[in-house]
Amino acid sequence: MAKQEIILLDVWANMYSMKVKIALAEKGIPYECKCEDVNNKSQFLLDMNPVYKKVPVLIHNGKPICESSIIVEYIDEVWNDKAPLFPSDPCGKAHARFWADFINKKLYQIGRKLYTTKGEEHEAARIEFMDCLKLLEGELGDKPYFAGESFGYLDLSLIPFYSWFQVYETYGNYNFDLTMSAPS
Amino acid sequence: MAIAQTQNITTCRSNGGGSEVVLLDFWPSMFGMRVRIALAEKGIEYEYKEQDLANKSPLLLEMNPIHKKIPVLIHNGKPINESCIIVQYIDETWNDKSPLMPSDPYVRAQARFWADYVDKKVYETSKKIWTLKGEEQEKAKKEFIEILKVMEGQIGEKPYFMGESFGYADIALVTFYSWFYTFETLGNFSIEKECPKLIAWAKRCMQRESVSKTLPDSKKIYDFFIEMKTKLDL
């Protein structure tokens, strides 16, 4: 592959940015990371992501790709010579996309309610968040990774939440080690 | 009328040999329509099973236990859920004709981005038009038009979202066209007046048999909505 210019617009604590960084690392792709200030977004970010004005944004040879799941699929398709992140069969891919979509739609939104709501709404979020994690745990089963023997798309979609577990445990009043029935 | 309601099981010829394809769906669903268009584009025969969403079937609950929603594509007994995921699955599995995704990875990423934009923005905002009133409804209408204008801008002078070929991003949005009359009537506004190029694009898509035979008549959708509104007292 000819010399590539790869830039990642990022915020260090952002779980979606972490997904992209893991994918880039899995593929051994060197890149320049530019940290954004969410309270003072750069003109560059606004130019590269005019629709949502959010990170992460991957800029590959000057062309922006936005939305973390879409960026990860792009990385897997372009740098397809090593470390495949997706199963090769359409059914396996659909399965991975479904659960990653579940994580994006449910886990993040409900997790956010743990530290932004109170009272009954908070209690409902606590229960729903744990239900989501148990569903994912069930999906993992006894396999080392979600798709089986190899680390892949679904693992990297979920693992960034692990860095936020202390936040969720504190605000959700959980102890994940006791609550989860199997080491996950 | 644009929907297939056959209850007969038909076998499907795919590049991999015979296969059974079943679609669990609900005729007015814009999300179900996406799958029907994709199946039609590929010439795939399938069994259509209309679902009663007020009284969900054991099959639906078994095939989509997480979300309990349509559409669900069941291919050789295995369920695939979420309309955009189903459309990509159809494109990847029946890959011998009518590609729905662009071949270039960057353009493909853009197609995914716009389909995702439709999913994130169009349905929720349009829902506000038919559930809110007064100032809140006016606000929702403005927001809806802004969203449509963003997409109109993306299409620009091109025949379709990604260029010369009809595909994934077009499929994601065009199914809402059958509901435009309902939104316009409830909100007392004209989408064509605000977004003429978008309507021109929609009419261009409707020239494709897969789209025109799938999208139900707009007035039929409106009548369905009024009936649903009355029952649910919305």
What are the pLDDT digits (tens) for B172-195? 999 999 999 999 999 999 999 999
pLDDT digits (tens, 9 = 90+) for B54-110: 999 999 999 999 999 999 999 999 999 999 999 999 999 999 999 999 999 999 999
**Tokens read off for B191:** 């989408």
| A79-85 mean pLDDT | 95
Cα–Cα distance measured from residue B192 to residue A126, given in angstroms and rounded to the nearest whole number? 45
Cβ neighbours of residue B195 under 8 Å, at least 6 residues apart? B145, B148, B149, B152
Average pLDDT score over chain A: 90
Cβ neighbours of residue A76 under 8 Å, at least 6 residues apart? A23, A27, A84, A85, A86, A153
Report pLDDT for B3. Answer: 35
How near does any CA of chain A get to the CA of B112, in Å?
7
Q: Is the pLDDT of residue A180 over 60?
A: no
Report pLDDT for B127. Answer: 92
Hey, are the CB atoms on B75 and A71 less than 8 Å from each other? no
Hey, are the CB atoms on A93 and B89 less than 8 Å from each other? yes
- Please, which pLDDT band fits residue A4 given cuts at 50, 70 and 90? confident
| B14-37 mean pLDDT | 85
- Please, which pLDDT band fits residue B4 given cuts at 50, 70 and 90? very low
Cα–Cα distance measured from residue B68 to residue B62, given in angstroms and rounded to the nearest whole number? 8
Which of A71, A74, A76, A78 to substitute to test the interface with B, most B CBs within 10 Å? A74
Cα–Cα distance measured from residue B59 to residue B65, given in angstroms and rounded to the nearest whole number? 10
* Contacts with B112 from chain A: Cβ below 8 Å: 67, 70, 73
pTM of the model: 0.92
How near does any CA of chain A get to the CA of B100, in Å?
14
Cβ neighbours of residue B6 under 8 Å, at least 6 residues apart? B47, B48
Element (H, E) at B24: strand B17-25
A88 touching B (Cβ < 8 Å): no
Hey, are the CB atoms on A74 and B113 less than 8 Å from each other? no
- Please, which pLDDT band fits residue A162 given cuts at 50, 70 and 90? confident
B64 touching A (Cβ < 8 Å): no
Cα–Cα distance measured from residue B85 to residue A126, given in angstroms and rounded to the nearest whole number? 29
Q: Is the pLDDT of residue A5 over 80?
A: yes
Hey, are the CB atoms on B85 and A98 less than 8 Å from each other? yes
Hey, are the CB atoms on A74 and B108 less than 8 Å from each other? yes
* Residues A78, A60 contacting (CB under 8 angstroms): yes
Cα–Cα distance measured from residue B18 to residue A101, given in angstroms and rounded to the nearest whole number? 30
Cα–Cα distance measured from residue B191 to residue B196, given in angstroms and rounded to the nearest whole number? 8
How near does any CA of chain A get to the CA of B79, in Å?
9
ipTM of the complex: 0.92
* Residues A94, A73 contacting (CB under 8 angstroms): no
Q: Is the pLDDT of residue A182 over 70?
A: no
**What sign does the CA torsion over B23, B27, B32, B34 have?**
positive
Report pLDDT for A169. Answer: 77
Which of A51, A110, A137 to substitute to test the interface with B, most B CBs within 10 Å? A51
How many C-beta atoms surround the C-beta of residue B153 within 10 A? 11
